[in-house]
Structure 1
Amino acid sequence: MTQAMKDMPAWGISLVINLSILAIFHFVVYHRPAELDKTSITSIVDDSAHEEELRFSETAMDQVGTDGDASSLTQSLSAATVVGKEDTPLDEQVEEILNPQIRPLTDSMVIEQQGDISASVDVKGSSEKIERGVEGAMDRIAFEIRSSLRDRKTLVIWLFDASSSLNERRSAIANRFDNVYRQVGEMGSTDALYSVVAAYGSTPQLLTPEPLQDIKELSTTVREKIQEDKSGVENVFGTAKLLLDKYRNWHKHKGPWNKLVFIVTDERGDDAPQYLEEVISLAKRSQTRFFTIGNAAIFGQQKGYVKWTYDDGFVDYLQVDQGPESAFPDGVQLPFIGSQSDWRIKQMSASYGPYALTRLCAETGGMFLITQESRGPKFDAAVMREYSPDYRPVRVQADEVKRNAAKASLVTVAQMTYDDDLPVPDLTFRAYNDNILRTDIGEAQKPVAEIDYKLRRFYEALSAGKEDRDKIRESRWQAAFDLAMGRILAMRVRYFGYNQMLANMKVSPKSFEKEDSNMWRLVPDDDILSGPEMRKAAATAQEYLKRVIDDHPGTPWALLAERELSSKLGWSWHEFSQPIPGSDGVTRASDEEVARLLLAEEERRQMERKKASKPRDKPKL
């Protein structure tokens, strides 16, 4: 140690040592490999995000959730079906990234119908059947409004269908306004709650130019100011767009607002193709949630029925547009032959709302509240959860349908059956004498050639997709395809045999075994007398229908398959007797007497038709 170091005070020695250590550390840091430039990392991430946004601009809006978080999945993707197996491995990997297979859309809150409306709620689905009808729906709405007010100031928009069929429901809701807003007020101040009333038909009606806080004025507006629309046109989506545009920046200077839209209707709406996706986009940007208080869609049907009472008290059921529940037609429209009336079958529901309104509610975080079911059979919601409709955009579903020939052919044939109704054939024939029998048979045969032509077209079009049937992964599409194939084949067998039975009877009329018989009836039978080709087709039809029953029990498809199989595919003649019209119970008469009685009966019916009152003018609903 040098003399200088010895003479240095302690603090100086400490300073020298620390500086030496720092110098060593300085050189170590200076010479280690340099890190990547953080600026370049940021640039790479930004570029990737920008490329992805451009690449998927068609569906980018569907990737954005109700909370505006681009990393979350919307309701439509939650219900997305998985792409068919026919894709290449690379396509499957890409599709799995874009549309991951997750639980079908069945998650949303359902209010407890009794007790505290702020209690925890169960998770059910995007369409939910509401107990106690409108009353139960209004309890749910009270819950939604209160939940929204807890978060921030809230604007509620009531959008009413202005058609005559909604008179009763509009009145019931107006009667419940006081109770709803009272429930909301019991849990806190309603100073931050404003309400708007609008209506729609062929044109929109804004009934409160300025949002209201006065509950009494709200009720009066609904009862007295909505002008009934008799056009039969339901432009709900166009009206929703106008409302979103009008109130997009309402009171924005006072901070953020929640917006809730409650649509009240019994139909599906007519302008979804023009405005649905735009309304969804606007609703997401303005944080607006949509709810619908409506009727269940009719399963596989476009038309439903609503009860209508005329001024004189006469009650009728009038057709309205209530379905279908899916974006594309997937149910063939064929009559049931040889069995009892099928009106209940045609009016059954799977407890889902119509596609467009349900998609709007699901995408915006709301729900379709079913306050009125159809009059047909009902199904277990737990079973039907696996068969939930696909609520993704039509364009996305259309691409998948095109990639699978079975799906594409099913949609084509289903649409064909919507456009071409098949008549139910006559099964009873008068046989007062051979001439009358041949006349009745000749009339019954006239439409058969056209029907057989249509059935051949249906079968050939659907058969074009048979090879892709096993590539379908979704239960809903599997059931629909098998049912369609089974029913079309069964119908072909029945009509072919029907025509052959008539032709044979016309050429060589059968003799009655009973003395008083004067009528023939065709009844379903196990024996198929129309040749080996039709027997083979019958076996194939039964195979498809039984597969539907076995693979999809407890569903509407299984019910329809059971109904089809309940009627045998062959035919046989059964004789019976009935009085000749105008003969006071006589079942046998000479040819001259029969001709005179029938002529007199026809004249009597014409007189009755002339005396009949003018047919009722049915309103457009």
Structure 2
Amino acid sequence: MPRSQLFSPLDTADAPVSLKSQRHRRLVSLLTSAGLHTLLLLALALFVFPTMVRRTQVLKFVVGESDTYSLTTIDVTPRWDAIGSDLTDEPIVIPESEVPPELDASLFELSGAIDDPSRSSSNVSAVAYVVPKNIGESLSASNSVEGAVDRITSELEGKFEKGDLLVVWLLDASHSLVDDRKRVAVRLAPFYESIVNRHSGAKFEVRSAVVSYGSAMRERVAPTEFGKKIVSAVEDLPIDRTGDENVFSSVAKCAKVYRSSWPDRQIAIVIWTDESGDDIEHLENAIAVCREQQVSVSVVGPSSVLGADTGLHAYVDRKTQAVYQLPVRRGPETAMPERLELGYWYLTRLNSPVQGGPRSLPMWLGGQDLRGILCGFSPYAMTRLSIQTGGSYTIFDRQEERGPFDPEVMARYMPSYGSLAEYESEVQSNPLRRSIMRAVGELKGKNVDEPTTMLFIKRTGSRVFDFTRYYYTPSEFRSKLSSSRGRLKAQATRSSKFVDAALMHLTDGGDLDLGLEELYEHENSPRWRAWYDLTRGRLLATSVRLEEYRLAIDSMISPDGLAPSTNHVMLRASSELRSNETFQKRGDEAERLLRRCVRENQGTPWETLAQRELDFALGVGVRQMSLTQQPMGPASRSPSLPRF
């Protein structure tokens, strides 16, 4: 096929007639062989069937080169076989001595091998997890980008020892990966040199192509045996500035087009990215196409955000050297986000002094409201694609993005990588999980954030300290406060209605003060038990704070609410509650649930999120200030920031 037609919309039926003839001959041979073996297979079916109902598949989570690993359990998805017998859903524990010899325990692997990518996904009934015993909290540059490249090239070497191989480097063309791509290119150079040296007389052929993706997909280098072309294309890949990441549609198209051009060889697609993709609606189609075309997909990508889609990426402005935390789609670790879209109140406090104060929050924490907190698992969609096509997922996080969570503990919270339909079915069949997800859905897109606690300021930038505070005389301030009272309370009341609606899904009999403790006691998943405590605990705490906020606004308007010289106030956490007994009981229940979440989920992001809520008392106090008039300088301006 001419290169100009490689990514044309033409169907592969337009391939040369000779290729069709070859396919026809192969099809006749295949059908003949299948017929001859049918009777033998039927005769053996009853004998071998008991050994076929549980299969495994492997997914690699590569974090460092010096880590040690252990095999834990296989989670079995209940399915019906052809004659209708029900498979067990009890977890199977595999002793370490029974790890198959082909399973390389030197890697951080999740699950086991799909040897035949064309096998229907409905035949996969088990996923075996190999979880690291110890992951270093910091990795040196020698085993970051370079280590990830080495893992992929080692995997590729294993493939081209078995036959002809076409490697398609499918690269994220976003601005955020410019530096990483250059380091990848440097590391790939000796790899391709070694192929030339070791395989000059070999009977197997290795070719590579480079394709970039963003809003659109472009072939940068057609399949070639010259490694220098590949290295150069990776290093100098043009940037896609749209911020779009259409990776799954790109995978499907690559699989179809390259298979039509290379019908008789192994094809491996390698994705390098720091996002999870914007076109997840094409995930299952990409899986189906890759399995049909017998194309494996391996990914080097980021860890996921806990229960949410969007995380942060540190961008350093070249002119000012200021660091901006820009939103980036990392994806949740599950098929659907399981975390409330609910903001935290007040600025996050650090447990230990850090130079620069709140500006120096670690990147893995995900910002002031912890919405982008990284959990150490890989993104659901990319992970599922790797599992189902017989590839691998290599986690690569930058140094500052690596969280402190204990991997041995986190193994108990391993998410499911089944299909979205399977996930929804599991949730709907479990009353507690269904209630949690309904509460999460209730707040989706509602923007229930902290109400205004620093009154009458103007934001001048994207960072928390970029604001202008205006000067008012005490009388002007009282007048402005009085006229704003209704608006401020209305905003809090609006949020309260959303919070109460979400709480209704986590109540027994419609009473907001009665939870689902009986369902909680029968839940055997640490993940969902943690989500219940965190979700209901945070909703109750927010309900109390919003009531306290309304009462604090009223207190300032009262005749003796403010000192005569006060011309500015800040609302802050207080241990004193103004609200009635109903809200005080809610506060007690919120604290109980959040403390249980902390106690039972130590070493996990759930502990961090629950403790963040507990760091501030539920009351809302008023800090009064008397400011002197000072001239204002020009408002700061943010530079032109890239889209990730």
TM-score, normalized by length of structure 2?
0.70
Segment drifting more, 474-483 vs 283-292:
283-292
Per the TM alignment, residue 376 of structure 1 is displaced from its structure 2 partner at its CA by: 7.3
2:160 to 149, 153, 172: 149
Per the TM alignment, residue 241 of structure 1 is displaced from its structure 2 partner at its CA by: 0.9
Q: Deviations over 1:416-471 (max 9, x none)?
A: 43411123223356882443543465553241121111111111133379364444
Structure 1 match to 2:311: 304
Whole-Å separation in 1 of the counterparts to 2:54 and 2:480: 75
Tell me the amino acid that sits aligned with residue 628 of structure 2.
I
Structure 2 match to 1:556: 605
Q: How many residues matched?
A: 514
2:474 to 429, 432, 448: 432
Tell me the amino acid that sits aligned with residue 417 of structure 1.
L
Q: SS where residue 506 of structure 2 aligns?
A: helix
Which structure has the greater CA radius of gyration?
1
Whole-Å separation in 2 of the counterparts to 1:194 and 1:288: 15
Per the TM alignment, residue 45 of structure 1 is displaced from its structure 2 partner at its CA by: 8.0
Per the TM alignment, residue 543 of structure 1 is displaced from its structure 2 partner at its CA by: 1.8
Structure 1 match to 2:218: 205
Per the TM alignment, residue 187 of structure 1 is displaced from its structure 2 partner at its CA by: 6.2
Q: Deviations over 1:168-224 (max 9, x none)?
A: 222221222112234556766675222121111222212333x21111111122234
Q: 1:339 touches 1:567 (CA, 8 Å); kept in 2?
A: no
Q: 1:404 touches 1:468 (CA, 8 Å); kept in 2?
A: no
Structure 2 match to 1:215: 227
Structure 2 match to 1:387: 413
Kindly tell me: are residues 302 and 243 of structure 1, through their superposed partners in 2, closer, same or farther at Cα, counting changes over 3 Å? same
Kindly tell me: are residues 416 and 571 of structure 1, through their superposed partners in 2, closer, same or farther at Cα, counting changes over 3 Å? same
Structure 2 match to 1:590: none
Give yes or no for the alignment of 1:228 onto 2:239. yes
Structure 1 match to 2:123: none
1:455 to 499, 504, 510: 499
Whole-Å separation in 1 of the counterparts to 2:505 and 2:552: 28
Kindly tell me: are residues 95 and 389 of structure 1, through their superposed partners in 2, closer, same or farther at Cα, counting changes over 3 Å? farther
Structure 1 match to 2:13: none
Per the TM alignment, residue 328 of structure 1 is displaced from its structure 2 partner at its CA by: 1.1
Per the TM alignment, residue 517 of structure 1 is displaced from its structure 2 partner at its CA by: 6.0
Tell me the amino acid that sits aligned with residue 138 of structure 1.
V
Matches within 5 A, 1:291-370: 291-309=298-316, 312=319, 315=322, 316-340=324-348, 343=368, 345-370=370-395
Kindly tell me: are residues 95 and 338 of structure 1, through their superposed partners in 2, closer, same or farther at Cα, counting changes over 3 Å? farther
Q: Deviations over 1:316-364 (max 9, x none)?
A: 3322211212111111122222453652733331112211001111233
Give yes or no for the alignment of 1:73 onto 2:76. no
Kindly tell me: are residues 42 and 440 of structure 1, through their superposed partners in 2, closer, same or farther at Cα, counting changes over 3 Å? closer
Per the TM alignment, residue 136 of structure 1 is displaced from its structure 2 partner at its CA by: 0.9
Q: 2:311 touches 2:373 (CA, 8 Å); kept in 1?
A: no
1:101 to 74, 85, 91: 91
Whole-Å separation in 2 of the counterparts to 1:306 and 1:339: 20
Whole-Å separation in 2 of the counterparts to 1:436 and 1:151: 77
Whole-Å separation in 2 of the counterparts to 1:469 and 1:124: 27
Q: SS where residue 345 of structure 1 aligns?
A: coil
Whole-Å separation in 2 of the counterparts to 1:539 and 1:394: 37
Q: Deviations over 1:148-181 (max 9, x none)?
A: 2333332211101122222222222122211223
Matches within 5 A, 1:1-12: none
Structure 2 match to 1:195: 208
Whole-Å separation in 1 of the counterparts to 2:389 and 2:53: 14
Give yes or no for the alignment of 1:501 onto 2:513. no
Q: Deviations over 1:13-61 (max 9, x none)?
A: xxxxxxxxxxxxxxxxxxxxxxxxxx999879879999x9xxxxxxxxx
Tell me the amino acid that sits aligned with residue 420 of structure 2.
V
Q: SS where residue 216 of structure 1 aligns?
A: helix
Matches within 5 A, 1:465-614: 466=516, 468-510=519-561, 512=563, 519-575=568-624, 577-582=625-630, 608=634
Per the TM alignment, residue 96 of structure 1 is displaced from its structure 2 partner at its CA by: 7.2
Whole-Å separation in 1 of the counterparts to 2:285 and 2:180: 28
Q: SS where residue 474 of structure 2 aligns?
A: coil
Q: 2:503 touches 2:539 (CA, 8 Å); kept in 1?
A: yes
Structure 1 match to 2:251: 240
Kindly tell me: are residues 422 and 81 of structure 1, through their superposed partners in 2, closer, same or farther at Cα, counting changes over 3 Å? farther
Q: 2:549 touches 2:620 (CA, 8 Å); kept in 1?
A: yes
Per the TM alignment, residue 568 of structure 1 is displaced from its structure 2 partner at its CA by: 1.2
Whole-Å separation in 1 of the counterparts to 2:394 and 2:442: 32
Q: SS where residue 500 of structure 2 aligns?
A: helix
Q: 2:131 touches 2:411 (CA, 8 Å); kept in 1?
A: no
Tell me the amino acid that sits aligned with residue 356 of structure 1.
A
Whole-Å separation in 1 of the counterparts to 2:438 and 2:473: 42
Q: SS where residue 318 of structure 1 aligns?
A: strand
Kindly tell me: are residues 468 and 82 of structure 1, through their superposed partners in 2, closer, same or farther at Cα, counting changes over 3 Å? farther
Whole-Å separation in 2 of the counterparts to 1:378 and 1:177: 31
Whole-Å separation in 2 of the counterparts to 1:82 and 1:286: 26
Q: 1:299 touches 1:348 (CA, 8 Å); kept in 2?
A: yes
Kindly tell me: are residues 228 and 338 of structure 1, through their superposed partners in 2, closer, same or farther at Cα, counting changes over 3 Å? closer
- Which sections of structure 2, spanning at least 5 residues, go unmatched? 1-37, 60-72, 109-128, 349-357, 359-366, 456-471, 509-514
Per the TM alignment, residue 574 of structure 1 is displaced from its structure 2 partner at its CA by: 4.1
Per the TM alignment, residue 580 of structure 1 is displaced from its structure 2 partner at its CA by: 2.5
Structure in which a larger fraction of residues adopt helix: 1
Structure 2 match to 1:8: none
Whole-Å separation in 2 of the counterparts to 1:439 and 1:265: 51
Q: 2:259 touches 2:267 (CA, 8 Å); kept in 1?
A: no
Q: SS where residue 296 of structure 1 aligns?
A: coil
Whole-Å separation in 2 of the counterparts to 1:411 and 1:550: 23
